[in-house]
Structure 1
């Protein structure tokens, strides 16, 4: 058994696709119309056959309450591994990404948390040397 998909609930699929590809650097893998929305996934260019991140429409009331609750409590919806968290945070900040937690060492990792512009907080992290 392996993980094939994981999801984040997004307020706007077009805006999410632009942010996740143009800012974060993921690559669109699948886009299939499903009613008024799409089955829309992105992958890491470093692992195009790896886990797909589904940019799931945030329509259901439970999804809205869930994502709003996470954001209100400052909890990231998911985390991504990067080679150098501080360097990646600086790159993203230069692109206008808003951070709720700047890069900081937390035990064996450095983490940073930012707003994905479509209703979520995301975390990046890297191992400390």
Structure 2
């Protein structure tokens, strides 16, 4: 018998009212949110963020090794995330170390991965029943 992992509660990262209690997004807010999702909608950046969640802080060289890319290419991706305020960096000698400073991103990654896994599980259950 296959056991499912226990459900975990992801606490809100935001001190603002819950989404259901907020007014409908204005066009400007929707555009800003779309810009955030556009930066996050990149498989390399998602892998870099996950590596930082797992390790708390990593230098560019270690991040590049973790995703199998050249340090310069990784630096460009990290800059996009830093420009959005998701990451902070510090220099130590010739190395630049990055860390996640926006805890909402950690929660968003966790929720996104959970959603992806649930959708996959549901799809597999339906395909086993002969439905598509």
Q: Structure 2 length normalisation: TM-score? A: 0.27
Structure whose residues are more often helix by fraction: 2
Q: Which has the larger radius of gyration?
A: 2
